[in-house]
Amino acid sequence: MSKLAELARLIRSKNAGPFELTFDIMFDDAAVYQRVRDSGALTREAIAARYGLPPAEVKFFYCDNALAVKATIPRPVPQGDLRDGDGHGGQQYAPLMDIEIPGRKV
Amino acid sequence: MTPAARTMEEIRILSPTGVMGSGFLETSFERALAHLPHFIGCDAGSTDPGPSHLGAGHAAFPRPAVKRDLRLMLIGARRLGIPLLIGSAGTAGADAHVEWTFEILREIAHEESLSFTLALICAEQDKAYLKRRLGEGRIKPLNPAPQFDEHTIERAERIVGMMGAEPFLRALDAGADVVLAGRSSDTAIFAGLPMQHGFAPGLAWHAAKILECGAAAVVNRKTPDCMMAFIRDDHFIVQAPDPGLRCTPQSIAAHSLYENADPFLIKECSGTINLTASRYEAVDERAVRVSGSRFIPADVYTVKLEGAEKVGYQSVFIGSIRDPFIIRQIDDWVTRLEGRIHARVAQVYGAALKAGDYHLNFRIYGKNGTMGPLEPVKEIRSHELCLIIEVTAPAQETASDIAGIIRHQGLHLPIPEWSGLITALACPYNPAHLDRGAVYRFCVNHVVEPDDPYEMFPMQLFSVAGATVRECGA
């Protein structure tokens, strides 16, 4: 088992416009990316569970040529609205960092 | 747009930086000019800095920073005699932002004795026009979208439309050397001219998508800097002019992820950029060749709207807590504080200010200040907490007065563990609160279906000769 943060080159979050929040999980190494992609641990359902959403509200993509996994969710509060605490959406990725990815180092 | 016959072997495009005012290296810019680009494009805005820029009509970047970048671009473009296209002027691209940038541009023209034909394209929308289109059923929600009706239009401080490539081309066809446009699709700034010269729309739009962020797509980004694209018959090459910056197939492929909801399909006014079949190959250590990108024309031309409305006026109280007795009961303590604030406001204002007329918000840093309800960690692991308490009210004076109530109620709110008068909050500032002025929210996430790509984006042409600026008709 490895934590996702130990395998990814970069895990980030950002606004995708004022009403959506997007996550990019990026890898340096094709074998590591494939291990994560094929592990069954980083899925639409896993993201939905971490952010308390029904899976249907999560847009989810494997981007093979970018060695990246991407997910987009509706913002809980629109950017800059009264209860928004993260105007750029830049610090919303932390719950993804400790997702356990099965398998050995490749 | 009607496909044109290709008029050149290659079109070279320079994007000096991802956003005007964020800067670029002069050495990179000079290297780029030595490649003889056919035009320079620059995005000057975004919703990313938040709704207050659109709401209040202010720019996010400092005026001297914008002037520095614009001066170099204008001098470079005039030296080569090539078009300079600027979109989303002044951050939000409403009329106030275009006017602000126009004034900077006039100063530069005067100081540098530059002469050119300038097109100004406005993107702020007339409320009567929007109501008419709404009544016709030609304003449609994107997902997710807030409620949008006549009242939304009425309440909004400003609503802008995000123009496509066509208004830029109309300005160039009318003889403009420099185009200063209001809110624009970032890609539209770069995609129009290559298509007009007959290059494949899929390549033009994909190259534009990379260019609009300047050198953001390189592997080893140091500072904001220049990027170039060379579009040819069946591919394009991207390369940063700074010899120290490298693009790799992965870095260019990964760039389509950034700030996009979908990494393969990107919606524009006139269609959708489709990157599912894009191929990325290394040309050498620094340049990448891209091919296979497509553009699927839309059946209906749509223009995205952005709007901001005033929520009220805000004051912010900042205080911290070190007492572990208070920290372990923080949720309950805050609930009790909220009750006391409302009770005191009712005592002071009576019927003149009801609970629904003002809004309190508590942010507890050290607990869930960053993620709010999305925070999965429930236990507090910090020995201190920072409390930010906001009040938003119909007038600044009211917000400021309530902030004074917040301070005093919070300062001495008792807990059962201690008997006697306690002081529960450490205040780093005096006065203990800050007045923030008007605050805004984004109120629109919709598209309009106009009759044509131009009706929402009127153009004015000016002849600029040093200090003399003369309108020459549109």
From the number of C-beta atoms within 10 Å of its C-beta (0-12, 13-18, 19+), residue B351 rates as exposed
Task: Find the mean pLDDT for residues B360-376.
Answer: 96
Give the least confident one: B22-31, B225-234, B300-309, B464-473.
B464-473
What residues of chain A, 29 to 48, have a C-beta less than 8 Å from chain B? Answer: none
Report the phi/psi class of residue B177: left, alpha or beta, with left for phi > 0 and alpha for psi in -120 to 50. Answer: alpha
pLDDT of A104 reads 74
Total number of residues shown for chain A? 106
Task: Find the mean pLDDT for residues B59-72.
Answer: 98
CA angle B26, B96, B116 (to 5 degrees): 50
> CB B441 to CB A80 under 8 A?
yes
A83–chain B nearest CA distance, Å = 7
Between A and B, how many CB-CB pairs are < 8 A? Answer: 120
> CB A22 to CB B371 under 8 A?
no
> CB B250 to CB A67 under 8 A?
yes
Residue B392: its chain A contacts at CB < 8 A?
Answer: 82
Query: Tell me: the pLDDT tens digits for B380-418?
Result: 999 999 999 999 999 999 999 999 999 999 999 999 999
In order of B205, B239, B368, the CA distances from B202 in angstroms are 5, 19, 44
pLDDT of B4 reads 63
pLDDT of B257 reads 87
Please check whether residue A52 touches B, CB under 8 A: yes
Say whether pLDDT at B22 is over 50. yes
Say whether pLDDT at B466 is over 50. yes
Task: Find the mean pLDDT for residues B414-426.
Answer: 96
C-beta separation of A93 from A12 below 8 A: yes
Please check whether residue A90 touches B, CB under 8 A: no
Mean pLDDT by 10 residues, chain A (106 residues): 96 96 96 96 97 96 95 95 95 97 79
The residue in chain B having the minimum alpha-carbon distance to the alpha carbon of residue A81 is: B441
Select from B203, B276, B291, B236 the least CA-distant residue to B3. Answer: B203
pLDDT of B473 reads 64
* Residue B231: its H or E element: strand B227-231
- Alpha helices (H) along B309-395: 324-328, 330-349
Average pLDDT, chain B: 96
Among the partner-chain residues A15, A66, A82, the one whose CB lies closest to the CB of B257 is A66
C-beta separation of B259 from B209 below 8 A: no
Residue A77: its chain B contacts at CB < 8 A?
Answer: 372
Residue A94: its chain B contacts at CB < 8 A?
Answer: 371
Among the partner-chain residues A18, A63, A76, the one whose CB lies closest to the CB of B263 is A63
Residues of B with CB under 8 A from a CB of A: 47-52, 142, 144-146, 249-250, 253-254, 256-264, 278-280, 306, 311, 359, 361, 363, 369-374, 376, 390, 392, 439-442, 445
* Residue B128: its H or E element: helix B127-135
Query: Tell me: the pLDDT tens digits for B231-285?
Result: 999 999 999 999 999 999 999 999 988 888 999 999 999 999 999 999 999 999 9
Say whether pLDDT at B156 is over 90. yes
In the block, tokens 């490298």 appear at: B246
pLDDT of A106 reads 57
pLDDT of B474 reads 47
Say whether pLDDT at B3 is over 60. no
pLDDT of B52 reads 97
Residue B390: its chain A contacts at CB < 8 A?
Answer: 82
B253–chain A nearest CA distance, Å = 5
Task: Find the mean pLDDT for residues B329-348.
Answer: 97
Which backbone phi and psi does B390 adopt, to 5 degrees? -105, 145
Higher pLDDT pick, B143 / B73 = B73
> CB A79 to CB B370 under 8 A?
no
> CB A18 to CB B51 under 8 A?
yes
> CB B250 to CB A65 under 8 A?
yes
Residue A76: its chain B contacts at CB < 8 A?
Answer: 372-374
A72–chain B nearest CA distance, Å = 6
B417–chain A nearest CA distance, Å = 31
